[in-house]
Structure 1
Amino acid sequence: MLIDDISRKNLKIAAEDYLQIREIYCSLVINIFLEEILP
């Protein structure tokens, strides 16, 4: 039971980290994309 709670908490943390990383990555890609297209 205790191990289950810990792994669930770790999964939640990992999911939040993943969403943050994906957000940063998307904004980087958009910035590079805009710089390439716009003079």
Structure 2
Amino acid sequence: MLRKFAVVALVAAGAMSLSACNTVRGLGQDIQSVADAGDRVT
């Protein structure tokens, strides 16, 4: 039961993240912002 919930949660998170960036440019900007955030942490 827990495994099934984890799979559903993972699929839902993936769907939300894909819908957040509608274009290839948006995906590139999202990846860049994650990299910038990682640089600020260290």
How would you bin the TM-score normalised by the shorter chain?
0.5 to 0.7
Larger radius of gyration: 1
State TM-score, norm by structure 1.
Answer: 0.54
Gaps (5+ residues) in structure 1?
Answer: 29-39
Identity percentage over the alignment? 12
More helix by percentage = 1
Structure with greater contact order relative to length (CA < 8 Å, sep ≥ 6):
2
| CA RMSD across the alignment | 1.7
Structure 1's consecutive aligned runs of 4 or more residues displaced over 2 angstroms after TM superposition are: none
